[in-house]
Amino acid sequence: LVSLSIHHQPCDPSRWPQTHILRELAHTNSTSAGTSGPTYITHGGDSSLKDDSKEAKDSVRALSDALSSVKRGKNASVNTTADHTESVESGLSKLEALFDHPLYNMPGPPVHEDDWLLRVKSKVKASEKSSQMWVSASREAYEDAHWNGNVDRHPPWLRFHLGISRRQLYPHRDPNMELLTQQLATHRIVSAVQKPGGTQLKLVMSFPNYGQAMFKPMKQERDEETNYNLYYFSDFERHNAEIAAFHLDRILGYRRVPPVVGRLVDVVKEIKDITTDHKLARTFFTSPVGNVCFYGQCSYYCSTEHAVCARPTNLEASLAVMLPDLSLAARRSWRSPWRRSYSRSKLANWESQPSYCSTVKKTVPYNEGTTLVDFIDMVILDFLMSNMDRHHYETFEKFGNHTFLLHLDNGRAFGRHSKDEPSILAPLEQCCRIRRSTWLRLRLLSLPQYRLSDVMRASLSQDPLHSVAPLLSEPHLAALNRRLETVLETVSRCQERHSGDRGADEVIYDDTAYLKDLVISAG
Ligand SMILES: Nc1ncnc2c1ncn2[C@@H]1O[C@H](COP(=O)(O)OP(=O)(O)OP(=O)(O)O)[C@@H](O)[C@H]1O
Ligand SMILES: [Mn+2]
C-alpha cells in the first residue's frame, strides 16, 4: 500500500491527489501531442459511425427526413403567436423532444484511439498493482480509492475525464451526467483553496472521492442588469451565467462547456473552517449586519469593498467540474482574432477593417479544417448570452488544430437582457460562414415546439439552485429568442449577399455531407 500524503501547497492545485491518481490510471505521456500511450482504452457511451450497422442507417434516414422538414419550415406555422412563458413541465417535454431529435443524434465520424484525451490501462501487472491503491493520509477527509481498469468502479469525475474526446467534452445523453452533477451539488467539501491567476476570486474545491470543482461565488442579484456606464472589462462575473452557459451550450448541441451546477455553500463550515489556504482564511470578516464575508487575494476585485457576502453564512455559487490537470492534458490558449481592445478609447482591427475576415481565413489555424466554423459556433453562443469577454479560448494540445474549442469562463455573460450586442456577431457577419448542423439546430430552436427560451427554462429548472430562484429571469430568457432571430437573419443576409456566386455553399459549411453518402448507400 502506498500512503498518500495530502499535504500540498494551498495555492497549487496541480499538486493534488487527483493528478497522481489519474497519472497512474491514465497512462498518458504528459507532454506528448498525440503519442500513443502503452495500453488500451475501455470507453463507452458515444455513438460512433459504423458503416454497416442497421442502426446507423436508420438514424441517417431519420435525420434526412428531419433535415427536409426543417428546410421546408414545415412546423413553423404551428402556434407562432402563442405567449412565451410556459410551464416548466411543458418545457421539459419540449427539451426531451429536442434531445430526441435526429439532429442531436447524428452518428458522428468514427472515434479512433487517438481521439480520446486520456486512456486507461485495462490490465495491470502485479508489480504495478501497489500504485493503484491509494490510502489517504487524512482518512476522515478522503475515501480510500481502489480503482483500476474496471470502468464501473470509477467515480463520475474520472468517467468524465476519460470520456473527453477530440469532438466533445461529453456525449449527448451522457449516462454519467446525472451522478456527476449530483455529486458536485451534494458531496462533502473536504478542501477549498484559492485558484491563483485570473482577475476575480475563484476557489478549487475537493471532494472525498478526489473529485474537484472550480467555485465562483454569487456577486450580484439575478435580476440586476449590469450598469450601462460600466465597460465590459469592468463587469463582475456571475455564478448564474456560468451555470446557464453550460445549459445553453448543451442545448445548442456543442458540449464544450465543462458541467456546472449551482450550490448553496456554508462559507464558514465549508470554506473558512476547512481551508488550508491561510491567505484566504485571513480575509473572512463579519459585516455590520452579521453576514459572513470574504474577499481572498487576486489582481482586481479582491478587497473589503468587493467582498463576497453570505446570508448569514449561506452563499450561492457555481461549481464547475475541473478538467484533467494540465500535466496530464496540456491545453493551448489562443487569442481570439476578434478580441476587444480592452481599452476605453482604442478600436480593435476587426472594428475598422471591413475585409478583416479574409485575412483571418488565410491565417493558421483558421485556414484549414473546422476551426473557423468552430469559432463561429462559439460566437453564436456568446451573442446569445451577450458575453463580450471571450478574449482567449483553449484547446487540448493533444488534438492539434483538429478539435473543438473549449468554452471556458462564461461568468460575464447574461449581464444585460434589454440590450443586444451586435458587435459580438461581427465574425459571422464578416466571414459569412456557419456549420450546417449548427444552422439546422438553431432553426429547430426557433420553432415553437422547441423554442429556445422554453427549453432553457426547463433545463435550468433541473439545477439545485432553481429552488432558491430561477437561474435566469424571464427577460433574459426572452432575450435568447430575440437574439436567435438575429443570428438567423444574419445568416439569411449572408446567403443573399452570396447568391450570385456559389450561393448557399459559400455560407453553409456542409459538415453533414458524409451522411448523404450513407443515405445513398442505405438505399
Ligand atoms: N473547469 C475548469 N477546469 C480546469 N481549469 C479551468 C476550468 N475553468 C477554467 N479553468 C482555467 O482557469 C483559468 C481561469 O478561469 P476563468 O477564466 O474562468 O477565471 P477568470 O478569473 O475569469 O480569469 P480571467 O480574469 O483571466 O478571465 C482559465 O484560464 C482556465 O484555464
Ligand atoms: Mn474571465
Write the ipTM.
Answer: 0.97
Is the distance from the beta carbon of residue 200 to the nearest atom of ligand 1 less than 6 Å? yes
- Measuring CA to CA, which residue among 121, 150, 158 is closest to residue 36? 121
* 150 φ/ψ angles, rounded to the nearest 5 degrees: -75, 105
pLDDT in tens, the chain (523 residues): 223 333 334 444 444 566 665 565 554 433 333 333 333 333 444 444 444 456 666 666 676 677 666 665 544 444 444 455 678 888 999 999 999 999 999 888 889 999 999 987 666 555 555 554 555 555 578 887 777 767 778 999 999 999 999 999 999 999 999 999 999 999 999 999 999 877 789 999 999 999 999 999 999 888 788 887 877 777 888 999 999 999 999 999 999 999 999 999 999 999 999 999 999 999 999 999 999 999 998 877 788 888 999 999 999 999 999 999 999 999 999 999 999 988 888 899 999 998 999 999 999 999 999 999 999 999 999 999 999 999 999 999 999 999 999 999 999 999 999 999 999 999 999 999 999 999 999 999 999 999 999 999 999 999 999 999 999 999 999 999 999 999 999 999 999 998 876 666 789 999 987 777 666 665 5
Type and span of the H or E element at 456: helix 452-460
In a domain, 224, yes or no: no
Question: Is 125 contained in some domain?
Answer: yes
Closest atom, ligand 1, to C-alpha of 213: 1
Q: What total number of domains does the chain contain?
A: 2
- Contact present, 226 and 208 (Cβ < 8 Å): no
Ligand 1 contacts CB of residue 408 (under 6 A): yes
The reply to whether ligand 1 has any atom less than 6 angstroms from the CB of 258 is yes
Residue 281 placed within a domain? no
Q: Among the three residues 126, 156, 181, which one is the final residue of a domain in this structure?
A: 181
Q: Helix or strand or coil: residue 46?
A: coil
Closest ligand to the CA of 325: 1
Helix axes 54-72 and 436-445, enclosed angle (nearest 10): 60
- Indicate which residue's Cα is closest to atom 1 of ligand 1: 322
C-alpha cell belonging to residue 172: 449527448
Domain-located, residue 236 = no
Question: Quick one: which of 204, 206, 202 has its CA closest to 188?
Answer: 206
Let me know: does 422 contact 485? Beta carbons within 8 Å.
no
- Is position 85 within any domain? no
Determine contact, residues 269/253, Cβ cutoff 8 Å.
no
Q: Of the ligands numbered here, which is closest to the C-alpha atom of 298?
A: 1
For residue 408, the CA-to-ligand 1 centroid distance in Å is 6
Catalytic one among 325, 374, 377, 389?
389
Residue 86 domain-assigned? no
406 lines ligand 1 (CB under 6 A): no
Q: Which of 136, 159, 181 is the last residue of a domain?
A: 181
- The answer to whether 447 is annotated as binding is no
Which residue among 181, 198, 230 closes a domain? Answer: 181
Whether residue 207 lies inside any domain: the answer is no
Our answer to whether residue 389 is catalytic in this structure is yes
**Considering only CA atoms, which residue is closest to atom 7 of ligand 1?**
322
Nearest residue (CA) to ligand 1, atom 18: 409
Tell me the residues surrounding ligand 2 (ion) with CB < 5 Å: 409
Q: Reduced to 3 DSSP states, what percent helix, strand and coil does the chain have, rounded to the nearest 5?
A: 40, 15, 50
Residue 434, domain member (yes or no): yes
Ligand 1 pocket residue status of 196, Cβ below 6 Å: no
Domain holding 408, by residue range, is 331-522
Which residue's alpha carbon is nearest to atom 2 within ligand 1? 322
Q: Residue 156: what residue type?
A: P
